[in-house]
Amino acid sequence: MAYDSNTMYNAGNILQGMSRISEPEIAEVLHMSEDVQRFRVLMMKYECAISEVRTKLEVLNRDMSIKNERNPFESIKSRLKTPTSIHDKLMRRGLPLSYDSIVENLTDIAGVRVICSFVDDIYSLADCLVAQDDIRVIRRKDYLKEPKENGYRSLHLIIEVPVFLSEDKEWMTVEVQFRTIAMDFWASLEHKMKYKKEIRNLESVSEEMRYAAELINQLDHRMTQIREKIDYV
Ligand code: 0O2
């Protein structure tokens, strides 16, 4: 499921999100007819966790934009993994299709993607987010410092946030990806490549993608240098 940039996250939207997942779909795709209700509640909690993280980032955006005279991010997108994607990921990894397996093995059911203009904003924003005392960092993967072989660059954080329910509090896992506008542009094209069954000249297209990723990296750094010159005036 694609990331959605809709910034409105209220109770209505959450219910609307849940109703998108039909019971037969869950039962059929995940082979867990007895756990359908538990699964729906789980997805509701992940949706609330997305909402919490988005709010935290939006608060940081307002605060930092006043202090630094620019917005640390351009946009936020988020998505909840669909039952079909959950099924496919578990199958790909040879893991059981069960409620417990989903909770134990998947850390990206709730996904938030933050698109920044500048690389240094990525680190400032990520540092401010993880410094909050109700955030637990589970994992950090810095594909900016160590890009993937194909040229992919982003900063990934797996975090836990508390979701306060009517009777208890639960820590929910959210994957937060930070990247620049240019890196996002590159990643969406590269993502399309994965879904195309046959690409002619795959080797040379992959090489072009690696070259484009390098150009994007240089452009991102050049833009930061220009911004610093403007800021110094
Ligand atoms: P989708 O459809 O975007 O959700 P994990 O998924 O965390 O259990 P993994 O694969 O080691 O395990 O995590 P990693 O490397 O942090 O990647 C997680 C997500 O980052 C991917 O989710 C993609 O969204 C994105 N990503 C990672 N590598 C690439 C890449 O080379 N190209 C592009 N375009 N995106 C990438 P999914 O589940 O693979 O896909």
> β-pairing, 75-80 with 155-164?
unpaired
Q: What is the pTM of this model?
A: 0.89
CA 157–ligand 1 middle distance (angstroms)? 12
pLDDT of residue 233: 63
- CB atoms closer than 10 angstroms to residue 7: 11
pLDDT of residue 79: 95
Closest residue by Cα to residue 108 from 177, 155, 50, 175 = 175
For the chain, the domains span 11-231
Which residues make Cβ contacts (< 8 Å) with residue 139, sequence separation at least 6?
107, 156, 157, 158
With contact defined as beta carbons under 8 Å apart, do 135 and 163 qualify? no
Q: What are 80's two structure tokens?
A: 């909840």
Ligand 1 pocket check for 192: Cβ under 6 Å? no
pLDDT of residue 14: 40
On the question of pLDDT at 102 being above 60, the answer is yes
pLDDT band per the 50, 70, 90 thresholds, residue 1: low
* Homologous superfamily of domain range 11-231: Beta Polymerase, domain 2 (3.30.460.10)
Ligand 1 pocket check for 206: Cβ under 6 Å? no
pLDDT band per the 50, 70, 90 thresholds, residue 185: very high
